[in-house]
Amino acid sequence: MIKLISNNLFKGDKVVWMVFFFLCMISLVEIYSASSSLTYQQGNHWDPMMRQAGLLCAGLILILVIARIPCKLFMLVPFVLYPISIILLVYVLFFGSSINGGNRWIELGPLSFQPSEIAKGALIMTLAAVLSKSQTEDKVKTRKGIKTIVTASRGGHYLPFKVCMGLTIFMIMFIFTENFSTAAILFTVAIAMMFIGNIPGDIMGKMMLTLVALGAIAFAILIITPESAVSHLGGRALTWKHRIEAKLHIGSEAEAAEEKTYSIEDHWQEDNAQIAIANSNVIGLGPGNSIQRDFLSHAESDFIYCIIVEETGLVGGIVVILLFIVLLIRASRIAQKCDKFFPAFLVMGISIILVLQALINMGVAVGMFPVTGQPLPLISRGGTSILITCCYFGIILSISRYADKVSETKAEPAEAISSNETDEYFSSEGME
SS3 147: strand
What mean pLDDT, rounded, does the chain reach?
79
pLDDT at 387: 92
Structure confidence at residue 415 (pLDDT): 46
Q: Where are the domains of the chain?
A: 9-407
Q: For residue range 85-111, what is the model confidence (pLDDT) as tens digits?
A: 999 988 888 777 766 555 667 877 667
The model's pLDDT over 166-180, given as tens digits with 9 standing for 90+, comes to 999 999 988 887 788
How far apart (Å, rounded) are the C-alpha atoms in residues 347 and 132? 12
Q: How far apart are CA 270 and CA 356, in angstroms?
A: 20
> What is residue 35's predicted lDDT score, i.e. its pLDDT?
78
pLDDT for position 396: 96
Calpha distance 87→102 (Å, rounded): 19
Specify whether the backbone of 234 is left (phi greater than 0), alpha (psi in -120 to 50) or beta. Answer: left
What is the phi/psi pair of residue 57, to 5°?
A: -65, -40
Confidence band of 424 (pLDDT split at 50, 70, 90): very low
Do the strands 146-149 and 97-99 form a parallel or antiparallel pair, or are they unpaired?
unpaired
What totals of helices (H) and strands (E) does the chain contain, helices first?
Answer: 18, 5
pLDDT digits (tens, 9 = 90+) for 251-292: 544 344 444 454 555 567 777 888 888 888 888 888 888 888
In which band, very low, low, confident or very high, does the pLDDT at 221 lie, cut at 50, 70 and 90? confident
| Residue-wise pLDDT tens digits, 7-55 | 677 888 999 999 999 999 999 988 888 777 666 666 667 788 888 999 9
Give the pLDDT confidence score for residue 251 in this predicted structure. Answer: 56
What's the Cα-to-Cα distance from 210 to each of 191, 206, 207, 217, 220, rounded to whole Å?
Answer: 13, 6, 5, 11, 16
**Per-residue confidence (pLDDT) for residue 416, from 0 to 100:** 44
Residues paired with residue 147 on neighbouring β-strands, in sequence order: 142
What's the pLDDT score for residue 181? Answer: 84
Share of the chain above pLDDT 70, in %: 73
Mean pLDDT of 120-126: 94
User: Residue 430: is its pLDDT beyond 50?
Assistant: no
Among 251, 285, 290, 256, CA closest to 273: 290
pLDDT of amino acid 318: 94
Q: Determine the pLDDT at residue 393.
A: 96
**pLDDT at residue 127, as a whole number:** 94
Q: With contact defined as beta carbons under 8 Å apart, do 138 and 147 qualify?
A: no
DSSP string, 251-314: --HHHHHH--S--GGGGHHHHHHHHHHHH--SS-S-TT--SGGGTSTTTTTTTHHHHHHHHHHH
CA distances from 57 to 30, 63, 284, 361, 370 (A): 17, 10, 29, 24, 33
pLDDT of residue 200: 78
